[in-house]
Amino acid sequence: MLEYSLLHHGDCGYDGIYDFVITTCNNTQTLSSSYYLLKNIECAYANLLKNNDWDNAFILLEYIEIIKSSVYFGDFERAKEFYNIAKRFIKKINCQCQ
C-alpha cells in the first residue's frame, strides 16, 4: 500500500499521472498499474460550475476527460501533456483549490 503523503507534491498538490510498477518472483514478473489523481483539478472544475463559469468549466472538463481516457488506453504522454495544459489553464483563469 502506498500512502497519499508519499506521492510527489507538485504545483497542483498531489495531482498527477502515476505509473506504479512492482517486480515480483525474483524479477520474473512485473505488475504495472497506471492511475491519475486529479483532486485539485476536479475541485477547480467544481468551483467553475459553482460560479456559473460554463465556458471555462466545459474546457476544463474536456481536459479532464482526455487525461482519464488517455491513461485508460495507456497513452501516458498524451495524459501528461493534457494534465500540464489543465494546470496552466486553471492558473491562467485563477481558479485554484488548496
Q: Give pLDDT, residue 84.
A: 93
Mean pLDDT by 10 residues, the chain (98 residues): 50 69 76 81 93 96 96 92 93 76
For residue 54, give the H/E element and its range. Answer: helix 54-72
Strands 29-37 and 16-24: antiparallel
* Domain ranges (residues) in the chain: 38-98
CA 57 to chain CA mean position, Å:
16
Q: Give pLDDT, residue 64.
A: 96
- Which 3 state secondary structure label does DSSP give 97? coil
